[in-house]
Amino acid sequence: MEVLKDNVLIVGGGPVGLSLSLVLAKYKIPSVIVEERVEPTALNESRAITWMPRGIEFLSWLGIEQDFLNKGVIRYYHQFESAKQILFTWSFKEIKSPYSYSLQIPQHTTEVILEEKARATGLVDIRRGHKVTKVGQHSDQVVVSIAHDNQVYDLCAPWGVGCDGTKSKVREGLNIKKHWRDYGTYSAVADFEMDCDLDKELSNIVLDPKRPYGFFYFAPGCWRLIYRINEGEDRKDVASKEFALKLLKEKLPNSNVHRFLWVSSFRLGQGQSETYQTGRWLLAGDSAHAMGPSAGAGMMVGILGAWRLGWRLALTMKNHPQSLLLLQDYSHEQHAAANEIQDNNATIFKNMSMKNPIIAAGRSFLMRNVLSKVAEIGKIALEKEALLRQSLPVSSATDRHIPSGWIEQKRARDWILGQRVPYIVNQLDFNPLALTGLGYTIFSIGKSYKKKEEELFQHLLNSLKIPMDAKLVFLAKSSLYRVDDTKFTFVVVRPDQHIISILREE
Ligand SMILES: Cc1cc2nc3c(=O)[nH]c(=O)nc-3n(C[C@H](O)[C@H](O)[C@H](O)COP(=O)(O)OP(=O)(O)OC[C@H]3O[C@@H](n4cnc5c(N)ncnc54)[C@H](O)[C@@H]3O)c2cc1C
């Protein structure tokens, strides 16, 4: 038996497992990744192609966003169309993030960069070609059996995380139940290297009830076509190279295909595990919450989950007394975060499944004549899509407390309970994405009087339940950003940038 004492065991070296290892490494916690595949996802099987703004903020937090930006292509717009006309255009340029676009990049390239960065930390041992075949745990450790080179060896570690995808062996071995939501239809994804007259900065979905389809540019010269497989059609025939090429020529007669890359079909559905934590095991990414490919947020939600889990695991490895409660909070909060996205996806899936032309015409009317006319609706919807508006249910979290003499606010301008710190760098002399330590940050955003703020901060620190050091940030030069001149107001922010309290002097 190989015994790991100081390492977190991560089963699965996909985007989520690799991201988690990078978060842990940032906090100087070593990890071992056990990965069945010898190579990353194949370049032709592009799979996840979209990094949403909040995901790019995560890369920026890790300090590796430029490596991604160098290899990817940028999308500024997403458009909904009917078979006849444009219904609604979303512009990423309007959202509040330093990254007001999405980054399009094949999953292969994502995995290659993350792996290279993880290895470069010197704290991540990635074992490719090692497959976990059995999972268990005792009161003080997790245990796995691993097949490698026709041999089996056992390994134990203080904590383990299953990042092993939709068919998770870890989840199965721990008997964690999974619920499946099904939308009764299949969709197909086909990737091509080609020239065409489409705008490379814009993706589109044509909500044609006969067969919805759409195009996404995702790497230099590479396009993705997605389309629905209709009831009664043979799935194999429709998800074939011949069919995809025929459909492409029908929709884009001027396209010139240089190379066909990949086609595959997927059931429109999504899975949700009952819990993401049992004893010393945790689940993250698709093993916890599998998302359908057509809505395309699975990798993003999983990676944001790894960010939310990483600091808690780091504290756990440092034997923090509240660690078990903090990990339970991860399970509860990330479950809700995944549910929120899955509800959003459900709307997309229902739209993809819609076959009735009369209802589809009503939908087109609503989108073109109502939704597209109210700019705020589009902006909110896109900020949700960009994962900038994820609200975690923090009200019963272990690290939260409302001391006497203070009242809680759900919101103070752009500071919203449960959401990430607003990106206000233009008004501040401080970049919230620079919060990289394993500590909390308390922002003073109300009445300004430095000496008194420091005094109140110390008083708050003594009464709050936060499990580690905190530092105070004065928004002194930003009178623009102060929310109230009459009362002191403090915002408590976790290492993963989520706001867990907005406290105003009574
Ligand atoms: C066509 C398609 C398009 C998509 N588009 C997007 C998109 O644009 N944006 C987005 O955010 N998401 C997208 N997704 C979803 C995204 O691909 C997944 O959500 C993401 O890959 C999940 O990452 P993960 O690391 O949790 O799991 P996976 O990527 O599935 O990685 C799991 C890893 O665990 C390994 N493993 C499994 N079992 C074992 C074992 N027993 N022992 C050792 N290793 C094991 C696997 O080999 C694999 O490498 C798309 C998916 C598809 C199929």
What residue ranges do the domains of the chain occupy? 2-179+270-352, 181-268, 406-505
Ligand 1 pocket check for 131: Cβ under 6 Å: yes
The number of beta carbons lying within 10 Å of the beta carbon of residue 485 is: 9
Is residue 445 over pLDDT 60? yes
Q: Report in angstroms the alpha-carbon separations of 158 from 10, 30, 291.
A: 11, 12, 29
pLDDT at residue 38 in the model? 97
Distance 380 CA to ligand 1 centre (A): 28
Cα 54 to Cα 387: distance, rounded to the nearest angstrom: 6
Q: What percent of the chain has pLDDT over 90?
A: 64
Residue nearest atom 15 in ligand 1 by C-alpha distance: 298
Q: What is the pLDDT of residue 191?
A: 96
pLDDT at residue 360 above 90? no
pLDDT in the model for residue 326: 95
H-helix or E-strand spanning residue 257? strand 256-273
Over 70: is that where the pLDDT of 480 sits? no
CA dihedral sign, ordered 216, 217, 223, 224: negative
Please, how many CA atoms are within 13 Å of residue 363, restricted to the half-sphere of its CB?
20
- pLDDT classification of 71: cutoffs 50, 70, 90: very high
Backbone angles phi, psi at 173, to 5 degrees: -65, -25
Cβ–ligand 1 distance for 55 under 6 Å, the answer no
* DSSP E strand stretches across 360-496: 406-408, 411-412, 415-416, 440-444, 470-474, 489-493
Q: What is the pLDDT of residue 430?
A: 61
Probe residue for ligand 1, chosen from 37, 45, 164 as the CB with the greatest number of ligand atoms within 8 Å:
164
* Range 181-268 classified under CATH 3.30.70.2450: yes
Average pLDDT over every residue of 472-488: 69
pLDDT for residue 362: 73
Residue 114 CB–ligand 1 contact under 6 Å:
no
- Check residue 462 and give its pLDDT: 84
pLDDT at 468 over 80: no
pLDDT (0 to 100) of residue 321:
87
Backbone angles phi, psi at 48, to 5 degrees: -70, 120
Helix (H) or strand (E) holding 366: helix 357-369
Atom of ligand 1 nearest to the CA of 300: 11
CA of 16 to the centre of ligand 1 (A): 8
Instruction: Report residue 477's pLDDT band, with 50, 70 and 90 as the boundaries.
Output: low
Q: Is the CB of 302 under 6 A from ligand 1?
A: yes
Rounded Cα gap, residues 330 and 315, in angstroms: 13
Q: Which of 131-140, 314-323, 475-484 has the lowest mean pLDDT?
A: 475-484
Q: Architecture of domain 406-505 in CATH?
A: 3-Layer(aba) Sandwich (3.40)
| 168 CA: nearest ligand 1 atom | 38
Q: Is the beta carbon of 173 within 6 A of some atom in ligand 1?
A: no
Asked whether residue 476 carries a pLDDT value surpassing 70, the answer given is no
Mutating to test ligand 1, I would choose from 36, 172, 264, 276 the residue with most ligand atoms within 8 A of its C-beta, which is 36
> Which has more confidence, 453 or 315?
315
- Which residues have a Cβ under 8 Å from the Cβ of 434 and sit 6 or more positions away? none
| Cα–Cα dist 317/195, whole Å | 51
Q: Is the pLDDT of residue 309 over 90?
A: yes
Whether the predicted pLDDT of 427 surpasses 60: no
The Cβ of residue 259 has, within 10 Å, a number of other Cβ atoms equal to: 11
Grade residue 481 by pLDDT with cuts at 50, 70 and 90: low
- How far apart CA 365 and CA 376 sit, in angstroms, is 18
Given this model, what pLDDT does residue 65 score?
95
Identify the three-state secondary structure at position 131.
Answer: strand
Count the neighbouring beta carbons within 10 Å of the beta carbon of residue 175. 8
Alpha-carbon Rg of the chain, whole angstroms?
24
Look at residue 469 in the predicted model and tell me its pLDDT: 78
Q: Is the pLDDT of residue 1 over 80?
A: yes
Helices 298-317, 323-353: inter-axial angle, 10-degree rounding: 180
Split at pLDDT 50, 70, 90, the class of 58 is very high
> What mean pLDDT comes out for the span 459-472?
80
Residue recorded with tokens 């676009």: 101
Q: Tell me if 300 CB under 6 Å of ligand 1.
A: yes
Could you tell me the fold of the domain covering 2-179+270-352? FAD/NAD(P)-binding domain (3.50.50)
Distance CA 312, CA 298 (A): 22
* pLDDT computed for residue 367 by the predictor: 72
Q: Which of 285, 323, 318, 4 is nearest to 143 (CA)?
A: 4
User: Could you tell me if the CB of 25 is within 6 A of ligand 1?
Assistant: no
> Kind and range of the H or E element at 313?
helix 298-317
Strand partners, 187: 228, 266
Q: What is the pLDDT at residue 472?
A: 77
Amino acid 443: pLDDT: 87
- The predicted structure's pLDDT at residue 3: 96
Query: Model confidence at 159, in pLDDT bands (50, 70, 90)?
Result: very high
pLDDT at 345 over 90: no
